């Protein structure tokens, strides 16, 4: 078992197609959802897109407004446990709906995910500045 450096954690998160976003509301009730993401500098970004949802007023956005501390988790699992790994990015998040940060987030998402080429996310976008990277790999 080996702890991963922040650079290796960042690299692994950047390489996976999706991660899990953990938010909590003002009283600490957790909420976990899968998101497609991109890295912009030291921030993990994602946006509300056209995939079916009950509403565009998503619980994750309300949670971030009430409690901006979030976490992203990515992992690799298989039957060969010597190949297991996980990385986590703890972050301070904010929701943006326009402006240069919003534009940069959408551009990064479109560049990373070909599914967005014809229909970029309309937002809002979440900009999550990473405050701590942690991770683990079964074998060095």
Strand partners, 94: 127
Domain annotation for the chain: domains and CATH numbers = 2-130 (2.30.110.10)
Whether the per-residue pLDDT at 57 is higher than 90: the answer is no
Kindly indicate the confidence band of residue 56, based on its pLDDT and cuts at 50, 70 and 90. Answer: low
CA angle 30, 116, 37 (to 5 degrees): 35
- Report the alpha-carbon distance of residue 41 to residue 43 in Å, rounded: 6
Instruction: Give 76-107 pLDDT, tens digit per residue.
Output: 999 999 999 999 999 999 999 999 999 999 99
Instruction: Give 16-43 pLDDT, tens digit per residue.
Output: 999 999 999 999 999 999 999 999 999 9
Whether the model clears a pTM of 0.75, i.e. scores above it, the answer is yes
Residue 41 has a pLDDT of: 93
């Amino acid at each position: 078992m080996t702890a991963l450096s922040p650079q290796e954690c960042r690299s692994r998160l950047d390489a996976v197609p999706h991660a899990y976003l953990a938010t909590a509301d003002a009283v600490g009730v957790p909420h976990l959802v899968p998101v497609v993401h991109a890295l912009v500098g030291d921030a993990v970004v994602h946006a509300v897109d056209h995939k079916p949802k009950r509403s565009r007023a998503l619980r994750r956005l309300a949670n971030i407004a009430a409690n901006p501390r979030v976490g992203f988790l990515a992992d690799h699992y298989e039957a060969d446990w010597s190949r297991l790994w996980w990385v986590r990015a703890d972050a301070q998040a904010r929701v943006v709906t326009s402006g240069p940060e919003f534009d940069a987030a959408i551009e990064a998402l479109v560049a990373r995910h070909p599914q967005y080429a014809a229909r970029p996310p309309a937002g809002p976008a979440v900009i999550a500045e990473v405050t701590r990277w942690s991770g683990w790999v079964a074998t060095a």
